[in-house]
Amino acid sequence: MTQTKEDALARRISEYLHAREGVAALFGLAMEGAGRGWAKCSMIVKGEMTNGHGVCHGGVLFTLADNAFAWACNSRNVVALAQSASINFLSPARIGEKLTAHAREEANVGRTGVYTVTIAAEDGRMIAVFQGLSRTAGGNVVEE
Amino acid sequence: MTQTKEDALARRISEYLHAREGVAALFGLAMEGAGRGWAKCSMIVKGEMTNGHGVCHGGVLFTLADNAFAWACNSRNVVALAQSASINFLSPARIGEKLTAHAREEANVGRTGVYTVTIAAEDGRMIAVFQGLSRTAGGNVVEE
Amino acid sequence: MTQTKEDALARRISEYLHAREGVAALFGLAMEGAGRGWAKCSMIVKGEMTNGHGVCHGGVLFTLADNAFAWACNSRNVVALAQSASINFLSPARIGEKLTAHAREEANVGRTGVYTVTIAAEDGRMIAVFQGLSRTAGGNVVEE
Amino acid sequence: MTQTKEDALARRISEYLHAREGVAALFGLAMEGAGRGWAKCSMIVKGEMTNGHGVCHGGVLFTLADNAFAWACNSRNVVALAQSASINFLSPARIGEKLTAHAREEANVGRTGVYTVTIAAEDGRMIAVFQGLSRTAGGNVVEE
């Protein structure tokens, strides 16, 4: 049952981070699941999240992806920080749409991790694809 | 005075977009200057902008950079959308710090533009460096 | 047998491109498999591929990943070109090592595609992770 | 004359790396200038550098940019390695064209550096824009 224990720890870490994230409250980010090396984070697009063209701001999409990435790259209980990330925008997201970001680990080598995060809308449209590079800083996120 | 006219139009476009950006109000984004191919956008880090480690969320930094990028890539009065962007995080930004993003055009070829955006704190610390790829969608942003 | 037919076409496209790639001959790139939305490309690191620190040049790693990406994003038989790409370097690759790049489709929306490419060494070490954005230009790659 | 001394050292470092780069000989890379935080590297596109569409391979463009980046990020005489990079492709480069990559420092914070590299053709066309993240590994490149 090692898998279960690791995933339970990962979930506890995501909940711990989630409770402390100012942005989580501001944007109404919800934790939709987490395990070792992965996490899902969702959000409903609101009027205050738009850009000048009236659709969801690219920075808000990045924030959603980056948050799922943070949960996933901290899921081994070693504090990890984002070093670098890239994002490709595929479809605009409209006010009222629920978006879900799914982060999964591509690689984990020494202090470095690489994660892919996809953002999809409820109708299945792919909104954006993100890739992040993390580096551990040392120390635990939560007590074990 | 062509330069001045172009810069005045660019400034008008930034103001037009700024007034319509839901995120601008939410984050208190301020327009600090704009001209053809460049723009400056500032923000003060607040408690609701933090990540789980208590510093400014990477997504908020991205949003600030992306907003300056949007003003700059729309500054020729052809509607342009972000296709892709990358960001490198250099120093954490703390609650209360004023950050300024400065977007400048690296290249503008056909329908495609590339912009570098630096984010600096008031003490001169470089917080992040962003690069964005835009593509024009056609149509004007404002009436000329 | 639609799947088989699509994959056979994808394989024919990879072979067609491979035969025309100057870089494929120069670097000894080998086609290790291809199907709709994915492709594998391998290479052995040689002395002429090094950087100033004596290990495989980041540009050669990028070329390997980019080549697998090109096969994958052209696999639907519509000419597609790379718009943008990012790469994260995880471990140095040494002279004599065989590296395999595996490209897979993350998203395919309208004219745009996003692909993740991992590069692994024979001992299982993850060398680099790449993400590419493609855009179709129109026209077929091969006759159907 | 501190500036001159620093730039002379930077130039010596670029020459040192250049002489050891397997890829420099393979691609005919030329050092066109270097100083603290910047470097220029040029190349003529040859038939063996093409992709399957007959123009310069994106990986070769990346290699050219990455090489100028390597010279620039090692120019302070502390061994530095690329962690991550992104590139945007703007115009195809044809066989016979001379391309010049110009790397310049955007930021240098602790062990981390960010560099923008532009690649231009002789007729002034912008071919690609690259951004790289470096991290120092310790040790000197050349003896001082």
Contact list in A for residue D86 (CB cut-off 8 A) is 86
Q: What integer pLDDT is reported at residue C1 of this predicted model?
A: 45
The reply to whether residue D107 touches residue B129, judged by beta carbons under 8 angstroms, is yes
Q: Average pLDDT over chain C, rounded to whole?
A: 96
Q: Report the pLDDT value the prediction gives residue A2, as an integer from 0 to 100.
A: 55
Residue B108 has pLDDT above 80, yes or no: yes
| Angle at alpha carbon of residue C39, lines to C37 and C42, rounded to 5° | 165
- Contact across the interface for A107 and C114, Cβ inside 8 Å: no
Task: Grade residue B3 by pLDDT with cuts at 50, 70 and 90.
Answer: low
Give me the mean pLDDT over the B107-123 stretch.
Answer: 97
Percent of chain B with pLDDT over 70: 98
Query: Is 90 exceeded by the pLDDT of residue D35?
Result: yes
Q: Does C79 touch chain D (CB under 8 A)?
A: yes
d(CA C56, CA C125): 14
CB B52 within 8 A of CB A41: no
Residue numbers of D between 83 and 112 with CB closer than 8 Å to B: 84, 86, 88, 90-91, 106-107, 109, 112
Quick check: A1 pLDDT over 50? no
Residue pair D60/C63 in contact (Cβ under 8 Å)? The answer is yes
- Indicate the average pLDDT of chain D: 96
- Residues B78-100 pLDDT 10s: 999 999 999 999 999 999 999 99
The CATH class for the domain spanning B2-136 reads alpha beta
Residue among C88, A125, C51, A92 at smallest CA distance from D27: C51
Contacting residues of C for B84, CB less than 8 Å apart: 83-84, 133
- Closest residue in D to B111 (Cα) is D90
Q: How many helices (H) and strands (E) does chain C have?
A: 3, 6
User: Residue C64: its pLDDT value, please?
Assistant: 98
Instruction: Give the pLDDT mean for C87-97.
Output: 98
Q: Which residues of A touch C131 (CB under 8 A)?
A: 86, 88, 116, 129, 131
Per-residue pLDDT reduced to its tens digit, B27-65: 999 999 999 999 999 999 999 999 999 999 999 999 999
Structure tokens at A93: 């997201």
Q: Are A65 and A128 in contact, with CB atoms under 8 Å apart?
A: yes
Strand D98-109 to strand D112-121: parallel, antiparallel, or no bridges (unpaired)?
A: antiparallel
Spell out which residues of chain B touch residue C136, defining contact as CB-CB under 8 Å.
Answer: none
Taking contacts as CB-CB distances below 8 angstroms, the residues of chain A near D82 are: none
- pTM over the 0.90 mark: yes
Q: How far apart are CA B41 and CA A20, in angstroms?
A: 27
DSSP bridge pairs for A112: A109, A135
Give pLDDT, residue C3: 66
**Domain boundaries defined on chain B:** 2-136
Token pair, residue D12, equals: 């010596």
Are the Cβ atoms of D66 and C58 closer than 8 angstroms?
yes
C117-132 per-position pLDDT tens digit: 999 999 999 999 999 9
Q: Does D50 touch chain B (CB under 8 A)?
A: no
CA–CA gap between residue C139 and residue C14 (Å, rounded): 16
The confidence band for D3, taking pLDDT boundaries of 50, 70 and 90, is: low
Are C92 and C61 contacting, i.e. CB atoms less than 8 angstroms apart?
Answer: no
A63: nearest CB among B48, B57, B70:
B57
What is the three-state SS of D24-83?
HHHHCCEEEEEECCEEEEEEECCHHHECCCCCECHHHHHHHHHHHHHHHHCCCCCCEEEE
| The token pair that represents D64 in the structure block | 């050219």
CB contact under 8 A, B57 and A23: yes
